[in-house]
Chains A and B, each alone.
Chain A
Amino acid sequence: MIQLDRVSKRYTSPGMGSKDALKQVSLKLPAGELTFLTGHSGAGKSTLLKLIMMIERPTAGEILVDGIPLNRVGRSGIPLVRRRIGMVHQNHQLLFDRSVYDNVALPLVIAGFPHADIGKRVRAALDKVGLLSKEKLNPMMLSGGEQQRVGIARAVVNKPPLLLADEPTGNLDPELSAEIMDLFKDFARVGVAVMIATHDLSLIARYSHRLLTLREGHLVADRDETADDEAGNGSPT
């Protein structure tokens, strides 16, 4: 679903020199797999997400999203790439001037789904995250965990092949985190490539999924923990 081939990103600001946020990162996220992306702040997690979301362009290397080489996507093609990526944001990025329903419906409205379809899909997504009864409320009236779930419903409502989550359990207690992780696992099970960027190591420890670790822009570890556990060693693959 996602493939990075020796991707580098260098930020240059006039008079301040330059900083390599990512250095020669290569990785592959297949469909149906849940992957953690971790690393200290400044290690390049956000940069990696920004490159995949086409908020920024890589300085070198090639990224493929769902088979599309992003280098060849022009400005007008960016929305189409983003429609294939469901993104769950740390700060939810919900709109408080409209209902939960309208928030979740936004990607469908944008993609031009027929009206009748929108209703069905939005309710299915809200049902999935357990918020069907709150569709008419304003997201402002919901708790942090509920808002996060509205964000997830919006991310998956148009059934994107790829789901990115940026600190999805950031401010949640372990019980809520577990619920949200269960949702992500469900999506992976039906064939979505899920990548969760987090520095919540206890969360990562609780699940045995593939783990990518970034340190100062380098991908220092790409381990399939299940495989490692079976093999009994921690060497990078």
Chain B
Amino acid sequence: MTAKRPGRNATPLKPKRAAPVAPPRRSSGARAARSAWRDRLDSWRLHHRDSARDALQRMRAAPSATAMTVLVIAIALALPAGITVLLENAQAATRDWDGNAHLSVFLNADVDSSQQRALAEAWQQRDDVERTQAVTREQALAEFRELSGFGDVLDALPDNPLPPLIMVYPVDAHPDRLAALQAALNAMPEVDLAQLDVLWVQRLHAMIELAGRIVGALTLALALAVVLVVVNTIRLAIESRREEIVVIKLVGGTDGFVRRPFLYTGFWFGLAGGLVSVVLVQSAMLWIGSPIDELTALYESEYSLIGIGFVNALVLPVFAGLLGLMGAWLAVSRHLNDIDPQLL
């Protein structure tokens, strides 16, 4: 609230301050009149810079205590951030499956290929069907032979056991419409079975959605923990610098002036914690990366793990810095007023 005050408040002061002792003032008088605002802005900026640097130096001066606080913040942030990255991966890995929602319609074995083609074309005219693809028994057999490795077994069979198939791609993947289409197709005499392949994908997505909300709550709780860690750290810092605060207040330091170094300390703690948490999450992703690659290779998938991402790697530390700032602000506004100068 009063962070900008020194610059503003000092304005009416300068002409009066030096008034009783006129001679030494002359040199700075002309310049002060010419660029008083500039000077104040400069000194305000300078104090920000000094506060920021001073806060960093104090953190460096107590490396183990600083490392502990930073690590606590980093771990608290890495947990929700890591789970979020995993969820994003789960979503990305299953997104294509959903886009491909279709019905596999198996026809009765006695439907021949020209009838099959006619059916496929007829269904394509339906309003709720985008396109169809007929897979003849021969095509199915060839494909199966190629992919499954059971060619020899198939050769041993007297005839082709696979039914003719029509893949039906709906216009709308909404579960209700899909169910309606499925029922309509199932009711046709030529159809043996119309099978919906996407139900489990939808269930998976619902679970991911639920997990996302749980992570949201977790994030909130752990962000609060970060704020509290910083509150406590800053409270101790204020306590250990009580004397200095008293002296600064005695010689006319505003609340903003006293507050500033502590706010920077909080921000730096948050920022450092955020950076370390990015490193933690990224290391964890690398660590599980190679088993995932093996797994996806086994499933003949091109999928490979997504990391935390460049933007998030920037956003997370900044967000953490703001949390630190918030914690410092709480600590400072709570404890700074307790420290009032006393004479003797």
Contacts and interface: CB of A to CB of B under 8 A. Distances in A.
A124 B252 CA distance: 21
Nearest to A112: B43
Interface in A169-224: 190-192
A50 B342 CA distance: 8
A6 B273 CA distance: 57
Interface string A12-28: 00000000000000000
A79 B253 contact: yes
Contact of B10 (A91, A111, A161): A111
B20 A82 contact: no
Main secondary structure on A side of the interface with B: loop
Interface string A109-137: 11111110100000010000000000000
A199 to B, nearest CB: 13
Interface string B310-344: 00000000000000000000000000000011111
Contact of B28 (A55, A107, A110, A117): A117
Contacts of B283: none
Interface residues of B, number: 41
B174 interface: no
B16 A84 contact: yes
Interface string B232-270: 000000000001101111111111010000000000000
Nearest to A115: B46
B123 interface: no
Contacts of A160: 17
Main secondary structure on B side of the interface with A: helix
A151 to B, nearest CB: 10
Nearest to B6: A112
Nearest to A87: B250
B153 interface: no
B252 A82 contact: yes
Contacts of B21: 159, 190-192
B94 interface: no
A86 B344 CA distance: 16
B243 A191 contact: no
B44 A112 contact: yes
A106 B342 contact: no
Nearest to B5: A76
A91 B343 CA distance: 9
Nearest to B243: A95
B154 to A, nearest CB: 86
A154 B252 CA distance: 12
Interface string A80-118: 111110010111011101000000001101111111010
Given A110-B257, A115-B46, A166-B344, A154 B251 contact: yes
B6 A110 contact: yes
A109 B341 contact: no
B13 interface: yes
A191 B19 CA distance: 9
Contact of B251 (A91, A106, A117): A106
Contact of A83 (B7, B17, B243): B17
A82 B43 CA distance: 19
Contact of B343 (A49, A66, A109): A49
A46 B25 CA distance: 32
B42 interface: yes
B255 A76 contact: yes
A90 to B, nearest CB: 7
A20 B13 CA distance: 34
B255 to A, nearest CB: 7
B39 interface: yes
A50 B249 CA distance: 13
Nearest to B10: A112
Given A110-B6, A112-B44, A79 B249 contact: yes
Contacts of A29: none
7 closest cross-chain pairs (CB), A and B = A83-B252, A191-B20, A82-B252, A112-B43, A107-B251, A79-B252, A79-B254
Given A89-B250, A112-B40, 6 more contacts: A79-B255, A84-B13, A93-B247, A110-B248, A113-B39, A166-B343
29 contacts: A50-B343, A76-B9, A79-B249, A79-B255, A79-B257, A80-B9, A80-B252, A82-B252, A83-B17, A83-B252, A84-B17, A87-B251, A93-B247, A95-B244, A97-B244, A106-B248, A106-B251, A109-B43, A110-B254, A111-B17, A112-B6, A112-B43, A115-B43, A158-B17, A159-B25, A161-B19, A166-B344, A190-B21, A191-B21
